[in-house]
Amino acid sequence: MYLDKILAKHRETAIADTRNLDELVSKAKKSSPSRGFTDKLRKDSVKKMAVIAEIKRRSPSRGVLNENLQVSVTAEQYRRGGASCISVLTDAEFFGGSRSDLEGARSAVDLPVLRKDFTVSPKDVCDAKLMNADCVLLIVAALNKSELAEFHGLATELGLDVLVEIHDETELEIALEIKASLIGVNQRDLKTFEVDHRRAVRMARMMPANVVRVAESGVKTRADAQSLRDAGYHAVLVGESLVTSEDIVKSVSELGV
Q: What residues are annotated to the active site?
A: 54, 56, 116, 165, 186, 216-217
Whole-angstrom distance, CA of residue 53 vs CA of residue 45: 15
- Kindly state the DSSP code that residue 188 receives in the 8-state scheme: B
User: Is there a contact between 128 and 136 (Cβ–Cβ < 8 Å)?
Assistant: yes
User: Is there a contact between 146 and 123 (Cβ–Cβ < 8 Å)?
Assistant: no
Residue 177: Cβ-neighbour burial (10 angstroms; 0-12, 13-18, 19+)? exposed
Whole-angstrom distance, CA of residue 153 vs CA of residue 167: 22
Whole-angstrom distance, CA of residue 116 vs CA of residue 128: 9
Helical (H) or strand (E) element with 54: strand 50-55
- Helix ranges restricted to H, 178-239: 197-204, 222-231
According to DSSP, the residues that pair with 182 across neighbouring strands are: 212
Half-sphere exposure of 195 (CA within 13 A, CB side): 9
User: Is there a contact between 78 and 239 (Cβ–Cβ < 8 Å)?
Assistant: no
Whole-angstrom distance, CA of residue 54 vs CA of residue 70: 13
Whole-angstrom distance, CA of residue 140 vs CA of residue 228: 22
